[in-house]
Amino acid sequence: MCASSAAGPGPSRPPGPFTPLDFQLVLLRRMADHNPDLVEDARHELGVSIADMREANRRWQAMLHARKGRAAVSRYRSVLGAPETTAPRKIGDLECEALLWPVPLWPDLRFEVLLGPNAAVWNEWLIRAPGAPGPALRTVADLTPWSCTVDEAARAFAPARPMEGTAPTRWRLAFCAPEAATGERRRCVAEFTWGLLQRVSFPDG
């Protein structure tokens, strides 16, 4: 594990256009509340400082709250470029469009923006890349931080009940999963940030 430092590796990056690297720092900033060690390792891998991560998040929030800011999908296109893939997606009776972008920090994942009618953004989170093998989720022990996405956990431990998230970009799922040693099923609440698993708690202790 890399040691934490106040400044991080090297000087802060000079200001410039908001880039895909900056967007990855925004994702990490929200995950640091639950998994600071994993975020610290990822930050060192990207070669950026804590100040860089904070500044990227500040600029992102400014874009979100700008009075004359871009529409959500236009903002993603301006930051991430053209989507890697665009595919139709049906949710109930509604026809939607899924836009996927690569996320170099997690090569097996993609950032998905789901567009409903009139190009309204319905959802934005990380999913498994099409064709990439998903994790083997069989027991509580398999539910490690960053190991799976919301839909993967929901499928593995069906029926799963969605719960209200504790903040924007966060989701929670309630389900039962067996213990590896005993096979005894436990009630679990899994917490996700930007669609990626962060931690699991056990309401029954």
Do residue 78 and residue 62 come from a single domain?
no
Q: Give the residue among 116, 133, 134, 114 at the shortest CA–CA distance from 124.
A: 114
Predicted local distance difference test score (pLDDT) of residue 15:
67
Backbone angles phi, psi at 5, to 5 degrees: -145, 155
Residue 133 lies in a domain: no
Summary mean pLDDT of the chain? 90
Residue 134 lies in a domain: no
Residue 135 lies in a domain: no
Q: Which two tokens stand for residue 61?
A: 């929030």
What digits encode the pLDDT tens for the residues 125-172?
Answer: 999 999 999 999 999 999 999 999 999 999 999 999 999 888 889 999
Name residue, tokens 């871009």: 70
Do residue 62 and residue 80 come from a single domain?
no
Domain boundary among 69, 85, 113: 69
Distance CA 150, CA 128 (A): 10
Do residue 154 and residue 181 come from a single domain?
yes
Q: What's the whole-model pTM score?
A: 0.88
Classify burial at 166, counting beta carbons within 10 Å of its beta carbon; exposed 0-12, middle 13-18, buried 19 or more.
exposed
Predicted local distance difference test score (pLDDT) of residue 118:
79
109 is in which domain, residue-wise?
Answer: 72-128
Predicted local distance difference test score (pLDDT) of residue 4:
37
The 10 Å Cβ neighbour count of residue 200 is: 18
Residue 142 host element (H or E): none
Indicate the number of domains in the chain.
3
